[in-house]
Amino acid sequence: MPLSPKNEMNPYLPLIIDFTDKNVVIFGGGAVGERKAKRFAGIANVTVVSSSLTPALRQMEKDGLILFIEKNLAELTDGEIFDGLSDAFLTVAATSDSAVNHRIVSMAKTAGVLANDTENAGEVVLPSFIERGGLQISISSGGKSPAVTKYARMRIEEAIDENLELMIELQNEMREYLKTAVPDQKIRQEILWEIMDDAEIWELLPADFEKAKEKANFVIMKNL
């Protein structure tokens, strides 16, 4: 199949990034800024720049989850915005003023910092996501339809089996063992898939994880 012309392709590509200790600067202390801060708090170093904070953000500041810098965003110069992004990995423009958001994104590009504009798709889209244990699923329409994104998330949540989290744990244990016991990656993949495809293991998982693990080990042994 021939590739689509570049201008017809969706330019957004999904990535899963480790935000541990990365600096995230959020401009705006309202409801939108609060949602974004909650996403990163506890993992990244989150700074919120705003003239005020929601009660939830104020509590997060007291708990040491965010750093608050009190500034009137409309009065910030481009230079002050640029300086505020000096150590940032990502910035989020979450103000209620489109012109201010545009200036923040512009300064972020100048500073070489990734930027998300909560009003538009912009350079970075923060997708809706589902997290169940070790499973993460991101959903995005590239900023074209938040309603469809929400609808898709709800439908996916309905379809996710509650035992997937247990299967992730089991697969991880078996995978780590197979790395030492089976040098051929293709064979390891085939064994792990056989474990995944075993109806008895799925039935055992919620009732008795150890018995499910015994059955998985039996699958491994018969393939060695």
Given this model, what pLDDT does residue 1 score? 46
| Range of weakest confidence among 4-8, 78-82, 216-220 | 4-8
pLDDT for residue 8 is more than 80: no
| Inter-helix orientation angle 55-62/31-40, to 10° | 30
Taking 60 as the threshold, does the pLDDT of residue 7 lie above it? no
Sign of CA dihedral 205, 207, 213, 219: negative
Q: Is residue 95 predicted with pLDDT exceeding 60?
A: yes
Q: How far apart are CA 39 and CA 153, in angstroms?
A: 17
CB 222 within 8 A of CB 193: no
What is the β-pairing status of strands 23-27 and 45-50?
parallel
pLDDT for res 2: 52
Could you give the 3-state DSSP secondary structure of residue 130? strand
The pLDDT value recorded for residue 142 is 79
Helix axes 164-181, 185-196, angle to 10 degrees: 150
Least confident of 122-126, 213-217, 218-222: 122-126
pTM of the model: 0.80
CA distance 138 to 142: 12
